[in-house]
Structure 1
């Protein structure tokens, strides 16, 4: 399908991905002159009209998500039987490829990737969008280490098709939550379960459940317990393992309540391991065992002095190891009493409060507060909290600072009129006036290429700053229209002149007798007067030869 042009705008260059649900192409947006990725649904998914409608609706909802860790969706369309999504082109690799090469992966890299995916999920969940298909194949890593989560909302349209479409989609079931496998209600915690399975695979190089067919794997998610990753790979920080097991708990109520809560735990794990190292338990145990063996060897020697010295060394090593273990235990146990800043508190909802009210509430709940920048908000009254840096309802360490941005009120402005302007000029006008460019559609028109034909919302109306303006642009390939003149009743020469003046061409001229029109006058024209035609179209006419006489001859001269 390479070199095919979709919507007269997206030129497919090469296939860059092939999945069970869709094929992904690198493409070029000829209108905006940029490279993009186009995901084209496989034909078996497009036979069901309700599925196609769900796919379109969910993809358009996902297009509203804007976050550094989410693959941007630019457009959703259909051409013939081809349903496609236009997305941001990512210069990087899938996490599945990285796992295949690097797993078991370093725990620090696992924490970093998980935190970024959780950040993307947090934004989606706050917008009431559940991913439903978190897996390594849907996670991209750019060359600078930025994580990008793709395919938001698409799995909702797929519904249970993942289990029945064929072997190419079997991979998804390895990351299904038990409630998905049962076909029950899913929520934010279902995405967290899937992320827990991804963490497990990064740490061990294996998924916890596998089988000969998707149904077998699904049943294992429902019925079998996950083997702790430390039984497969050593050196995993215990708290990180507990985090994985909490994410992948079979019961939704036992998992993290939000992606933000998972992020907080990951921050705590990173804090601890920076102090004592990632393999403190294993290193301590190994050191004790090694020194014990050394001591046993010395016991066999006759030199009592060396034996005594080795015994003292052993006691010192055991003491150090015990102190390290005690330090870690104190950290986690002491979270409830504030040791190492680990006392977690639920972040209060400060939205709509004055700064004084927010300060009082935050202080009472054990947090510090800081005034950020003012922001325009159509929903929040002036000088009241419109945004807060720590999400309400999530847990953060006591003493953490909440930065609040106070509302500057609604800053409604008048939308600029873009009709008739060139695309490049319109883009600058939109940005200058504090608005955003929305969906850009290209249609065939006689107007010069790049001319704005329509805009939504229309110009001249009031709208809040930041409103997206969708525009329709001419491709410049349309033909100019002309109005067909009245030709009947005119002489042939008059008719020819009228056709030429209107921008058309004279077509076939035929002759026939008429009892109404005199000889040499046009009595029929191919297109009705007043109708609209592309200029340059030929128009056939019929000219009267006058009345036919009784002997079959024609009265009058014929004008040719």
Structure 2
């Protein structure tokens, strides 16, 4: 199990596991280069040392990369990393056909035919490349969210060019959809795939598989012993022509099935037609595949005699229709003896008729496939057969005027003089081109690709048409073309012409306005501070210089407001101013003179004189004050604490000076808080 987030080969980033199989695990991943979701199939760890498994795993990638079809899952990449084999393929978001049948049953007959037509188209493409799927089953058929079909898992597909029979004794594929010849261990052929397709069609019509059992072996035995139950037994409303498609595709003898997928497509496409409403039921002529049957005889009492065969042996053998009828007749004879006698007479007459027919009245329908209609008529006449109804239909395989198939089909035994219907090709199916201008390209591309055309997109700018809308086409509307051989070029609007933006750094606002007006753009402006770009000039632009933009695009311009002024802060500083009671010489003299005039002696006055006040002068410097000016003057009579208010910018500091009686006593040149 790979971890989520792991990038395989550094490119495919694992998102989550989405499936586990017998040979590999499948993960949803993101392609980091192409920015799309993909499915990554990784060979299981326990099988990486098995050379046969590694060879089969690589063969799947090789086989599928040869196929390019809208109904086949595409392979993008194949590689190996640290001994880990992986395949990168298209991721189909949806469900598989098995779950689709369960969720949507009963499915309308036309929807069944639509789904089968897509499946058949994919298988026909694989067969054209000599690739047999060998494991066709609803679990390997994906249905996307739009209802389109994708076939996956070519893990056991084998190219017909590989003549070595390496799987002789190994049954590959799912047993519920296994052809009788594969169940016997024989090499699978194109008609083996057709058998599986018939079983898938059976399941879509009935909601169940035709054979169930307690083990894979018991189911496999039923595939080559038991007839597929008629779908009309389950739903009588199913048209006989549609049931005949199932019966012919699942005939036990491969020679009685459709010779190729193209014939099954043609037969299926008309199965709901009113012209086939009264079609007889298809009955294989060689349903026993050449096996020897033990046919019990009837005694007069109608009791089955088992001569030289044990009861167990009889139980393992198919009961021929004639014997079943005889058994039914024998029950009647127990009640009425005379009916037994009539039955004997009928059997004798029937034996005489068969003997007569064997003497030369029965002929074999020749193979007229791919003959011109004229040559086919001659070939049938040579076998004493007549041409009946001639149907015309398109065909991608057979040229115009050539026979696609005959009814009865080649190799079947019919009475001499019988009529044989022919289906003749009118050439490849053509598609009428329509006018796609003014339509959204993605819608038209999806529709035309589904029809089989190759679509090439070219871009062209347009001032009037929205991006993604088709401007023109190289094939005129009304022309009929063969889809598989046609490439249509659609010219799509890429929108208005692209303009490569100049570098607008250091442009003034006026210069920007002139530029955008000249080239067909618009501009919106905003401002911001910048320590490097002068005020009024462009700091930045979005989209950036060199970007490709369309006409009319708006360019966002940021202009400089210059340097941003530092933030201002306000705070107070508490200062304690001490009181000084000492008198200065001048104060002392002044005091002595004053006292002498009062008649006191100078000596006694000098001994008791002290200062009673201090004069305080404060200088402060901040964003609004200067030290050259007095901030405050005051008189104190004792120690005093004052608060000095400062207003300074964030990157600056304040200053102060305090004088007492004219003498500086306190100062600070770096006051920040």
TM-score by length of structure 1 reads: 0.49
Report which of the two has the higher share of helix: 1
Report which of the two has the higher share of strand: 2
TM-score by length of structure 2 reads: 0.42
Larger radius of gyration: 2
